[in-house]
Structure 1
């Protein structure tokens, strides 16, 4: 039990099996590395003692100084090429080495290569720390030349160190620890300082050595000749030069392998590519040459070639212990110590921390991993490693035998096999849904290729490490080629295996017709957020940041256990600079041509996988990430939460449709007949079919047929769709007195269940009194708002539309500017009514009081809608969706039946218009396809949450629709306003904001999860067995805050409050289902669902109370006009749940914790409730009544053991919350 509690305590709040905040792709706010950062990084990595010692591994073998330098130069050129190629995935997709390794080796197979890198990080950290300790030893020795006498040595000589050296090592390790706290994206300032010190030191060291060399000149280290033969066996100059080249590469092979960890931090790919191309070879060659020159220049005066700088400086101090020398040695030791820290922290500690975080993302982040590296590093006995530079570099450079094939595999995968395409979402999917699952999570091709690259060089490796081993000269020569051989051979074999034995899912992704640039652009949209979308002062660490005195950034970050540091990261961007200019052109093109081709990729919700419990291994295959689309519409379909839970949810085949509607069905083109009695008809419904080019059809209009309404004809309609597809209806052959016509927009597919689709175009004929009623309502609305109508439209799109984008902005503004009375009266009334809530936020309008009340407009709009529903269309559906979000009377403490009735009405309209069927292959205008999908999912959201408001079952089931969720292109449609209409809105609302689209997509995501919860636990047929399916939903929801993009954080004026309220309300329903039944017996029964989940629920809802503490008075207004009808219910759910948790808790610690949460929530409500804004008070009033009631009874509840919760419910319990 104690171990389980400890494990629970060390869990990261937002960690899971495959992802945490430090493992996920890097968002824009953390892409802070520029050309200069990479320059400083490689200056520190390569200007250190290990690189300085490179010559010591070459010249003692028999190479001359210039041969060694040639080997160093060639080795660095090859290493630079390998480094750039190996880091491209990080530069373009912003994923680190361990995550990208999942693409190469498989989700589970990647563990092999990651643990190899962890081992190397541990060894190198220990070695570099010991060398840093020697530098510290120099500093101590400069203070006290008799240091060894004053620190009595108690350590055996066999260890290779003294007590004084060990003390120095410990000091260096301790001083390094604070620097491990710095995360990679914030380490630039440390780089600037350390790189400056390092560069100055190396230059001063070289100048000193040359200036003080004297007349004796260089030692024989710079000999111009060698007794070795030029060619021949392994000991010839040629092969030793090759060996030197490979040793040079091998010394940095581990850094090459994991360079994606730092390339992912680049502001743009060019920073990583060019920054490394310039700095890596420059400083590696420079430091190595300086090492050769300094050693040669000091050789004669020291009596021997001393390669190690600390040893050289210690010898200098021993020869001349004067004050000046001691001061110089102190500063030299200090510079070397800083250099070692600058190399060791990013190169080994943070690199190892990243690797450990990817292996244990649920428990370890970069900081924890880095400190683990530091804690465990002494076990490698670094003091034994540093006997001679030759032995050390031979051992670690020899390890490139294993690393080179790994790097070759990574390069071949990205550049040859995957063609620079990466499905990043699937890198975090730990089941067969991922294209990188291969075979049981392992890509056997990678292992085969790695073995083929390693095995031939192993005899030579053994001989290099064990000089007594006898192997052939050929084996030694092959080993001397180890890095080049392993890299090329493994890369070639890997590529060949993928060509010969391709993985079907992976191969389909690579060959889907999209280019790497298109995929990269999509992920830029997923993760990027320009400064225009962020708030001043916001940071990646604390999404709720705001200056609030004691509740400062640091205080709050600690209070919420790191939640703010993980809330809403990376995934969304503003468009690239040129995309804004192209947006209007694209919109006009798609509006005028049915064959226009939208972008092939789309942005889905952030959930890359769903909980699975279907009947087959592919039952819940997710398409939320990336999927190719057809020429007419995107076909990427997101699998819903309920789809993954309920076997009856729509299958992938019925929802994933991509055939273009422009393709002629079976070689035939059918056309509708006209509405009889009309003189001039639209060409799309004329009697004589228009002349068509091959493989073309007319794009029918369903929304814009004057005087007619399009009603969907489904399988259960009066006419069988297959009959209509094959024959003319008898009804249509009679041209007298007929007020309807059938229009076929889809001819069906080869699957018998993919049936044809028809619409009944019904002539709109209404009695005069009904037309008069609508006209009276229209006149009344315009009279009330005059002359403020245009200003209210501007306010609507500034404040309301951003949160609930159901209106096609361009079409609405065009019609309002040219013929606004043609816009349905109900829609104009709804727009005006919702906008007037924000009256005071317009500088011009705020000068006068609002001259009307919202309910005045609402009454007329509702009356108009009642008449307009006899001829429903998409605009009237928008009215139905918007009118339910009005501010209710301030006397209401529960939702009235009006919300439920309006939701039912909206659902009926949507189904009558055919929105429940996938329109992607229909032969209608692209803008209408996109609008239909957007509206259907707005209806779905409304249906789900209005059902919760009243405790009723939703009307929409997953068996009743095939419409896929919208993608970012669907939401973009109509949002980029032409220049001639921009005067009607604020400049910032003239172009599409990706953050607005992301918000709507996440609303859909949360509602799908919530609907899955309703099906599992709250249906009339729900059982304990169905409730067990809540566990995978819990796992998915747990990751939600860490997966949504940073632009959806809760910040002032970001419009994201309603989204987060819906998430917390979904968690309420989840935990109530998990804790079911909340009975008296469950409360006292160990192991009951109630006891199992109550503590977890309390921990989760600490985040809710923190969220409420960050809501300001200004932000409260945003809940009205943006899903206000359900936001109030969601807040009530959360408030009631806090009371439930307190009453149901049995452990004293849980009771105390629950009470503290209630106090915190109560305090937030009291602060917010003091507002003068009527709408805000109405929003808060129901939950304030409940929480105030609790605190009035709290003493009695505690005194009597909180048993009141177990009594029968009373009649004042709000509907939908029992």
Structure 2
């Protein structure tokens, strides 16, 4: 199969491609091991991740149990990311182009748009969360900041909060002003920077908590294997669910990898290793708050407010906010920019998709969304639950059906191997719908809640096998032709031997 950039006709170039969707040329693939490692350092080291891990301590898991949960989840995540990132590194294509092989040249827009909607919603919510750190830093450095505008509000937010949000939101433009190359440089700066905050936090925690032995001798409410097993599995699934969207669009990043080894090693160093270190610090700090304050404090912003050194707190908050920008760009901005470009390639480039995504997130008015946080998060979790089956279909198609060999010309063709029926592969949609239905039914049927707690695992496994079964029971014409050709070649070889 051809691995170089396909020679596209004008009609194909206008309907299925633009320069941002074509394979990245070898000379432009510059991301090294350290770039992927620093990418994950930026993704992991941020305010929402701290709150998630700290929340596990608050829920009653012991420090060692939390570390085991995160290590297990990060290893599973790493495996899925390395698998799904292979095609991006090998062929230089982004996520919405890759899924054309399984969902069809036109059908690929459906999962891409679904991923994009989730990303835009989270982009706004994460930007609002990060702006809270800005607001605290500005207030500490300039006490009059909190009184700006008096009682004036717009859509339920005061002037200090609105200005903090707009400043934080606007900084995202600087990160991608020159595309992915700008992101590579920004994350190389912010990723290691956050470790300064973590080292300081760890120092305080060990001193205030009476030493590591005292902190890690704390027990949780799950003291036996039997009582801890199902909560442990649910917690692992929950951690994976947070980052499962990146499993889908990891080709958006690995397409820039200098080599397959760079993306595999870089993600290993950046995810399981970094996540475990970050968890160790977070758990230590959260457990120490139990000693200091009498109850665990799982929110780093609330924890920072307990100290009496405004300048240090402000600097730490600004550093954490900068890291939150990194994770927002990587997890919630790059993907919808490519997804929009794939939806309307004739009119939307990656850069234009980036601007549209940014303004779409702005007009979600996230501070209003957070007034009904339970409803919004339930909706996002339900949509996110459907993304697990998409990952299962992608992995099954690339490794089992295609054997890692893609027809690059047909990926950009309206009349090729991946056209299926009028551009849609019903097998992929049927497998996704079936797996998502089973995985998410527990959200509506209380007696089946256990299925919902492991919805990502269930969705991936079910869609993986259902898709393979449908492709073999009713193979597309192109797949059947390949099998017939292989059979014909094999018979010819046998006849020559005889």
Distance (whole Å) between structure 2 residues aligned to residue 388 and residue 214 of structure 1: 40
Q: Which residue pairs with 2:440 in the alignment? A: 458
Q: Which residue pairs with 2:34 in the alignment? A: 36
Given the alignment of the two structures, is residue 403 of structure 1 paired with residue 387 of structure 2, yes or no? yes
Q: Quickly say closer, same or farther: Cα 1:227–1:388, change in 2 above 3 A.
A: farther
Shift of 1:163: 3.0
Structure 1 counterpart of 2:203, from 204, 207, 219: 207
List per-residue Cα deviations over 1:436-455 (Å, max 9, x = no partner). 01111110100111112111
Cα contact 2:41–2:274 (8 A) shared by 1: yes
Q: Which residue pairs with 2:366 in the alignment? A: 382
Distance (whole Å) between structure 2 residues aligned to residue 286 and residue 438 of structure 1: 46
Q: Quickly say closer, same or farther: Cα 1:471–1:95, change in 2 above 3 A.
A: same
Cα contact 2:21–2:97 (8 A) shared by 1: yes
Cα contact 1:184–1:346 (8 A) shared by 2: no
Cα contact 2:70–2:239 (8 A) shared by 1: yes
Cα contact 1:239–1:480 (8 A) shared by 2: no
Cα contact 1:127–1:382 (8 A) shared by 2: yes
Q: Which residue pairs with 2:333 in the alignment? A: 349
Instruction: Provide the secondary structure at the position in 2 that maps to 1:251.
Output: helix
Distance (whole Å) between structure 2 residues aligned to residue 347 and residue 510 of structure 1: 39
Q: CA RMSD in A?
A: 3.2
Q: Which residue pairs with 1:1058 in the alignment? A: none
Structure 2 counterpart of 1:288, from 279, 285, 288: 279
Distance (whole Å) between structure 1 residues aligned to residue 484 and residue 196 of structure 2: 52
List per-residue Cα deviations over 1:1049-1090 (Å, max 9, x = no partner). xxxxxxxxxxxxxxxxxxxxxxxxxxxxxxxxxxxxxxxxxx
Structure 2 counterpart of 1:275, from 266, 270, 288: 266
Q: Which residue pairs with 2:83 in the alignment? A: 85
Instruction: Provide the secondary structure at the position in 1 that maps to 2:358.
Output: helix
Q: Which residue pairs with 2:5 in the alignment? A: none
Distance (whole Å) between structure 2 residues aligned to residue 228 and residue 139 of structure 1: 40
Given the alignment of the two structures, is residue 224 of structure 1 paired with residue 219 of structure 2, yes or no? yes
Instruction: Provide the secondary structure at the position in 1 that maps to 2:69.
Output: helix
Q: Quickly say closer, same or farther: Cα 1:398–1:60, change in 2 above 3 A.
A: farther
Q: Which residue pairs with 2:44 in the alignment? A: 46
Structure 2 counterpart of 1:444, from 426, 436, 441: 426
Q: Which residue pairs with 1:471 in the alignment? A: 446
Cα contact 1:353–1:370 (8 A) shared by 2: yes
Q: Quickly say closer, same or farther: Cα 1:183–1:17, change in 2 above 3 A.
A: same
Shift of 1:251: 0.6
Q: Which residue pairs with 2:185 in the alignment? A: 189
Instruction: Provide the secondary structure at the position in 2 that maps to 1:449.
Output: helix
Distance (whole Å) between structure 1 residues aligned to residue 214 and residue 367 of structure 2: 31
Cα contact 2:66–2:283 (8 A) shared by 1: no
Q: Which residue pairs with 1:71 in the alignment? A: 69
Given the alignment of the two structures, is residue 313 of structure 1 paired with residue 309 of structure 2, yes or no? no
Distance (whole Å) between structure 2 residues aligned to residue 439 and residue 511 of structure 1: 20
Distance (whole Å) between structure 2 residues aligned to residue 274 and residue 78 of structure 1: 15
Distance (whole Å) between structure 1 residues aligned to residue 481 and residue 390 of structure 2: 25
Taking the TM superposition and a 5 Å limit, the aligned residue runs for 1:661-1060 are none
Given the alignment of the two structures, is residue 241 of structure 1 paired with residue 232 of structure 2, yes or no? yes
Distance (whole Å) between structure 2 residues aligned to residue 279 and residue 367 of structure 1: 27
Shift of 1:179: 2.1
Instruction: Provide the secondary structure at the position in 2 that maps to 1:192.
Output: helix
List per-residue Cα deviations over 1:251-293 (Å, max 9, x = no partner). 1010111101111111111111221123211222332332222
Distance (whole Å) between structure 2 residues aligned to residue 388 and residue 210 of structure 1: 38
**Where do 5+ consecutive residues of structure 1 fail to align?**
1-13, 463-469, 515-627, 632-659, 665-693, 696-1218
Q: Which residue pairs with 1:1067 in the alignment? A: none
- What is the total number of aligned residue pairs between the two structures? 485
Shift of 1:230: 5.3
Q: Which residue pairs with 2:139 in the alignment? A: 141
Q: Quickly say closer, same or farther: Cα 1:230–1:216, change in 2 above 3 A.
A: closer
Q: Which residue pairs with 1:1024 in the alignment? A: none
Q: Which residue pairs with 1:176 in the alignment? A: 172
Q: Which residue pairs with 1:1145 in the alignment? A: none
Taking the TM superposition and a 5 Å limit, the aligned residue runs for 1:469-618 are 471-472=446-447, 475-509=448-482, 512-513=485-486
Distance (whole Å) between structure 2 residues aligned to residue 388 and residue 203 of structure 1: 36
List per-residue Cα deviations over 1:587-632 (Å, max 9, x = no partner). xxxxxxxxxxxxxxxxxxxxxxxxxxxxxxxxxxxxxxxxx9x99x
List per-residue Cα deviations over 1:616-672 (Å, max 9, x = no partner). xxxxxxxxxxxx9x99xxxxxxxxxxxxxxxxxxxxxxxxxxxx9x9x9xxxxxxxx
List per-residue Cα deviations over 1:748-773 (Å, max 9, x = no partner). xxxxxxxxxxxxxxxxxxxxxxxxxx
Shift of 1:103: 0.6
Shift of 1:52: 1.6
Distance (whole Å) between structure 1 residues aligned to residue 61 and residue 186 of structure 2: 38
Which structure's CA Rg is the greater one?
A: 1
Distance (whole Å) between structure 2 residues aligned to residue 125 and residue 375 of structure 1: 10
Q: Quickly say closer, same or farther: Cα 1:337–1:215, change in 2 above 3 A.
A: closer
Q: Which residue pairs with 1:166 in the alignment? A: 162
Cα contact 2:208–2:292 (8 A) shared by 1: no
Q: Which residue pairs with 2:22 in the alignment? A: 24
Instruction: Provide the secondary structure at the position in 1 that maps to 2:96.
Output: helix
Cα contact 1:251–1:393 (8 A) shared by 2: no
Q: Quickly say closer, same or farther: Cα 1:244–1:397, change in 2 above 3 A.
A: farther
Structure 1 counterpart of 2:346, from 347, 362, 367: 362
Q: Quickly say closer, same or farther: Cα 1:311–1:166, change in 2 above 3 A.
A: farther
Q: Quickly say closer, same or farther: Cα 1:51–1:389, change in 2 above 3 A.
A: farther
**Where do 5+ consecutive residues of structure 2 fail to align?**
1-11
Distance (whole Å) between structure 2 residues aligned to residue 401 and residue 91 of structure 1: 26
Cα contact 1:349–1:374 (8 A) shared by 2: yes
Cα contact 2:88–2:251 (8 A) shared by 1: yes
Q: Quickly say closer, same or farther: Cα 1:216–1:244, change in 2 above 3 A.
A: closer
Cα contact 1:426–1:434 (8 A) shared by 2: yes
Distance (whole Å) between structure 1 residues aligned to residue 107 and residue 161 of structure 2: 41
Q: Quickly say closer, same or farther: Cα 1:358–1:117, change in 2 above 3 A.
A: same
Instruction: Provide the secondary structure at the position in 1 that maps to 2:428.
Output: helix
Q: RCO greater where, 1 or 2, for CA within 8 Å and sep 6 or more?
A: 2
Instruction: Provide the secondary structure at the position in 2 that maps to 1:252.
Output: helix
Q: Which residue pairs with 2:4 in the alignment? A: none
Shift of 1:345: 2.1
List per-residue Cα deviations over 1:485-531 (Å, max 9, x = no partner). 110110001011111111121343467559xxxxxxxxxxxxxxxxx
Shift of 1:394: 6.7
Q: Which residue pairs with 2:150 in the alignment? A: 152
Shift of 1:216: 13
Structure 2 counterpart of 1:297, from 274, 280, 288: 288
Distance (whole Å) between structure 1 residues aligned to residue 374 and residue 210 of structure 2: 29
Q: Which residue pairs with 1:858 in the alignment? A: none
Distance (whole Å) between structure 1 residues aligned to residue 204 and residue 377 of structure 2: 27
Instruction: Provide the secondary structure at the position in 2 that maps to 1:45.
Output: helix
Distance (whole Å) between structure 2 residues aligned to residue 512 and residue 35 of structure 1: 40
Distance (whole Å) between structure 2 residues aligned to residue 382 and residue 370 of structure 1: 18
Given the alignment of the two structures, is residue 59 of structure 1 paired with residue 50 of structure 2, yes or no? no
Cα contact 2:435–2:463 (8 A) shared by 1: yes
Q: Quickly say closer, same or farther: Cα 1:45–1:388, change in 2 above 3 A.
A: farther
Q: Which residue pairs with 2:409 in the alignment? A: 425
Shift of 1:392: 7.9
Taking the TM superposition and a 5 Å limit, the aligned residue runs for 1:1062-1073 are none
List per-residue Cα deviations over 1:563-599 (Å, max 9, x = no partner). xxxxxxxxxxxxxxxxxxxxxxxxxxxxxxxxxxxxx
Distance (whole Å) between structure 1 residues aligned to residue 483 and residue 49 of structure 2: 40
Q: Quickly say closer, same or farther: Cα 1:155–1:258, change in 2 above 3 A.
A: same
